Amino acid sequence: MTTSRFSIAELLVEHDRAVAYTDELWADLTQDEVHWRPSPNSSAIGWHLGHQAAVSHYMVRNLTAAEPPIDDALDRLMDSATPEPDRGDLPDLARLRGYRNTAAERLHLRIGNIASGDVGAPQQLEFIAVGLLLAVTNHEYQHSQWIGEVRSRDLGHPLPSRPTSDLLTEIDGYLVVGA
């Protein structure tokens, strides 16, 4: 009974599109490229990849269902509260990919429970789920913009085509859902 112009199902599709686009931006990069930092006060692509997943995980566990950490060390490292100079001890690509996949799986599980009404206060949580999905998806696109800029400008790799969707618009050069 949401009054949002977006359904949970539509937003889950858009979230998956955003994650898939981010994955296209780094799938062909080497570990050295994913770990490379433009400066000590800048974050590597790998940190942004983990941060996207961490924010998704934090929002799911704090807004919809108390969940255990995915990976205590990565949860701390990928938190934006970690000062940029301390963001250099990045995991290997398999661990990073696993972290991202687990965050996406947990989001789908919890939002799926909400969509099916298998939660307490299902109507109230539907509103939370829509807002959460908008925030997490737009955050994914926000960081994919930076990843793409570093991929292209600094590492010399071509960019894949940007995703298209009836839900997407561009604001200040960033893809966003809504508005």
What is the per-residue DSSP string for 61-118?
HHHT-----S-HHHHHHTSTTS-GGG---PPPHHHHHHHHHHHHHHHHHHHHHHHTT-
Of the candidates 105, 100, 51, the residue with the CA atom closest to the CA atom of residue 78: 51
Residue 47 has pLDDT above 90, yes or no: yes
In this structure, how many other beta carbons lie within 10 angstroms of the beta carbon of residue 20? 14
Which of 82-91, 139-148, 155-164 shows the lowest mean pLDDT across its residues? 82-91
* pLDDT for position 65: 85
| Ranges of each domain in the chain | 8-177
**Closest Cα to residue 71, out of 46, 96, 36?**
96
Tell which wins on pLDDT, 81 or 178: 81
Inform me whether the pLDDT recorded for 8 exceeds 90: yes
What would the two tokens of residue 105 be? 């799986």
Calpha distance 49→26 (Å, rounded): 9
Region of 175 on the Ramachandran plot (φ > 0 left; ψ -120 to 50 alpha; else beta): beta
7: left (phi over 0), alpha (psi -120 to 50) or beta: beta
CATH topology of domain 8-177: Four Helix Bundle (Hemerythrin (Met), subunit A) (1.20.120)
pLDDT: is 178 or 170 the higher one?
170
Nearest to 143 by CA among 51, 68, 12, 61: 51
What local confidence, expressed as pLDDT, does residue 179 receive? 58
pLDDT at 88: 73
pLDDT value for 3: 61
Against a cut of 0.75, is the pTM above it?
yes
What pLDDT digit, counting tens, does each position of 66-79 carry?
889 999 999 999 99
- Between 179 and 50, the higher pLDDT residue: 50
Closest to 84 (Cα-Cα) out of 42, 49, 50: 42
Is the pLDDT at 46 greater than 70, yes or no? yes
Give yes or no for residue 13 having a pLDDT over 90. yes
Euclidean distance between the first and the last CA atom of the chain, given in angstroms as a whole number: 21
Q: What is the pLDDT of residue 95?
A: 98
pLDDT at 48: 97
Residue with tokens 């997943």: 53
pLDDT 10s digits, 86-120:
887 899 999 999 999 999 999 999 999 999 999 99
Beta bridge partners of 170: 175
